Amino acid sequence: MTEYKQEQEMEIEALESILADEFKEIHSSESGLNTSDRCFQITVTPQDDDEEESSIPPVQLGLVFSHTENYPDEVPLLDVKSIRGIHLSDLAILKEKLEQEATENLGMAMIYTLVSSAKDWLSEHYGQDDAADLAEEEAAKEDEVIVPHGEPVTLETFVAWRERYEAELALERAKLMPESALTAPKEKKLTGRQWFESGRARGTVVAADQESEEEDAEDIDFEDEDFEDDEEDMLEHYLAEKSDAPSSRT
């Protein structure tokens, strides 16, 4: 084992001992770093002496690093990611700050120093009040997405909706109808005999005959037998009306 590797292993053991659950090894594929070597992530939260240990911090940062071959004489590979409530623009600023500090600390184990710097930066930019407001905004957005709108459909609500819809549809149809159709009384339907005796049948037949006579006037040949048949029909109709008259009076 080279001197660099030995120093790197000693730093990892010290970080595990100091940071405990906040320190973990992750796969290189989820680190965001361009390396296949071992990668680690440290969870960083703002420094708050009044915060209870059991409470969930409103903002959390993931500081990801991997040792280079000649670390600590070279800066480590670094990245930062938001675990909770940190804006992307702030992540870019913080990463640039940590890379600058790593350059200033070449030649010595520097990861814990970078963690402390990140914690101070979070405390400065995401204080307790600002972080609490940000957490409330995110919670409000989540509530707005998951809270369903309206009421569940049941058989009773569907029947009530259908009745209301049919009533509104009938009202719209009534608005489209002419006023005369709405105010005119409905005409009583006549029987065949009443319709015939009312003269409507004769009027209809006469109108049809007149149209036919106008079209074929030159071809019509009147004969005496036609008039005789008409006189006999009229006589039979007259006698039938006379015979019904006494019964209607009683």
Overall pTM surpassing 0.75 (yes/no): no
Give the tens place of pLDDT for each residue, 152-209.
Answer: 778 788 788 888 888 888 888 777 766 655 555 555 565 656 655 665 545 554 555 5
* Nearest of 56, 46, 59, 22 to residue 121 by alpha carbon: 46
CATH number of 1-48+56-121: 3.10.110.10
More confident residue, 43 or 202: 43
Task: Report DSSP letters for 16-83, one per residue.
Answer: HHHHGGGEEEE-GGGT-SS-SS-EEEEEE----TTS-TTSPPS-EEEEEEE--TTTTSSPPEEEEEEE
Element (H, E) at 99: helix 88-104
Cα distances (Å, whole numbers) of residue 217 to 209, 221, 224: 11, 9, 17
Q: What does the domain layout of the chain look like in residue ranges?
A: 1-48+56-121
